[in-house]
């Protein structure tokens, strides 16, 4: 038998720092084409996982470590998601891992890409945290220093509660005010074209690097509001 606790133990054993579960009835407000059943029609449960990333690289000049961390962490959550999906199939269920990329949706003019499902919205619905004005998922223990992955399955699992974390204060707009290119709107929608043109650039050798993380770094909750911020 497959249980929510069993899946969480498996995720932890594989190296995930967070694992939460949502039931499909939480997704009635999903945009057309981005409902979990649009990806796999028999989806009944959504498993969201996250791995922590270290924050010191936010405070150094070279973008190299942060770029490497992003890529390694993405690979790590993908490996864990893959193993969880395999486990469901070994137990007789169906499961699909949800990758961050490649995108199916891409609008060239606005340079807007969308994952087949939004990992941060899956994380929110699975109780891992809240989505801040900077458009990042923020967990109460680990802040926004996390990388997300997910699996959808036809197994019925007991869901977790939505997060009751404190959210952005109305008076805080630090991420919006400090984005170097004004990419974050007051409605918290990020202009991907503005962000990509500033943050995703090629170095002298033509390798893509992540040259900006100001919206992550400036957030007072970046390390989780239950911990003392350190830098
Ligand atoms: S990564 Fe940089 S450019 Fe992009 S939204 Fe954040 S602060 Fe703005
Ligand atoms: S900087 Fe302030 S407004 Fe932006 S995500 Fe963090 S808490 Fe929210």
Q: How far apart are CA 184 and CA 180, in angstroms?
A: 10
Residues 99-135 have pLDDT tens digits of: 999 999 999 999 999 999 999 999 999 999 999 999 9
Residue 163 has pLDDT above 60, yes or no: yes
Provide the pLDDT for residue 229. Answer: 45
**Cα(212) to centroid(ligand 1), Å:** 6
pLDDT tens digits for range 214-230: 999 999 999 887 654 44
16-26 pLDDT, tens digit each? 999 999 999 99
Q: Does the beta carbon of 131 lie inside 6 Å of ligand 2?
A: no
Q: Residue of the nearest CA to atom 4 in ligand 1?
A: 195
pLDDT value for 135: 96
Q: What is the pTM of this model?
A: 0.94
Task: Give residues (CB < 6 A) around ligand 1.
Answer: 179-181, 183-184, 190, 195, 198-199, 212-215
How confident is the model over 172-189, as a mean pLDDT? 95
Residue closest via CA to ligand 2's atom 4 equals 175
Could you tell me the distance, in angstroms and rounded to a whole number, from the CA of residue 214 to the centre of ligand 1? 6
The pLDDT of residue 227 is 53
To which H or E segment does residue 106 belong?
A: strand 105-107
- CA dist list (Å): 28 to 32, 37, 117, 165: 10, 11, 14, 22
Q: What is the mean pLDDT of residues 162-191?
A: 92
What spacing in Å lies between the alpha carbon of 186 and ligand 1's midpoint?
Answer: 14
Q: What is the percent of the chain where pLDDT is above 70?
A: 97
Calpha distance 63→58 (Å, rounded) = 8
Q: Which of 180, 189, 210 to mutate to test the pocket of ligand 1 (most atoms within 8 A of CB)?
A: 180
Please state the rounded mean pLDDT for residues 163-187: 92
Query: Taking residues 165-193, what's their average pLDDT?
Result: 92
Q: Is the per-residue pLDDT at 165 higher than 90?
A: no
Nearest CA-CA partner of 155 in 49, 47, 72, 231: 47
- Ligand 1 atom nearest to CA at 213: 1
CB 48 within 8 A of CB 148: yes
């Amino acid at each position: 038998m497959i249980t929510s606790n069993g899946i969480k133990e498996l995720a932890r054993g594989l190296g995930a720092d967070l694992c939460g579960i949502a039931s499909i009835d939480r997704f009635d407000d999903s945009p057309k084409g981005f409902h979990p059943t649009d990806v796999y029609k028999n989806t009944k449960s959504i498993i969201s996982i996250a791995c922590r990333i270290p924050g010191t690289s936010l405070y150094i000049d070279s973008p190299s470590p942060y770029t490497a961390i992003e890529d390694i962490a993405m690979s790590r959550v993908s490996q864990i998601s893959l193993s969880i999906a395999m486990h469901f199939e070994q137990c007789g269920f169906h499961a699909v891992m949800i990758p961050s990329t490649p995108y199916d949706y891409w609008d060239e003019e606005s340079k807007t890409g969308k994952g087949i499902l939004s990992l941060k919205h899956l994380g929110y619905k699975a109780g891992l945290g809240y989505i801040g004005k900077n458009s990042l998922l923020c967990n109460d223990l680990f802040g926004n220093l996390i990388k997300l992955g997910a699996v959808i399955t036809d197994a019925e699992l007991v869901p977790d509660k939505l997060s009751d974390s404190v959210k952005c204060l109305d008076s805080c707009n630090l991420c919006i005010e400090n984005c170097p290119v004004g990419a974050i709107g007051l409605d918290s929608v990020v202009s991907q074209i503005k962000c990509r043109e500033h943050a995703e650039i090629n170095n002298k050798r033509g390798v893509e690097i992540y040259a900006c993380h100001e919206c992550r770094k400036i957030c007072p909750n970046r390390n989780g509001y239950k911990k003392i911020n350190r830098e």
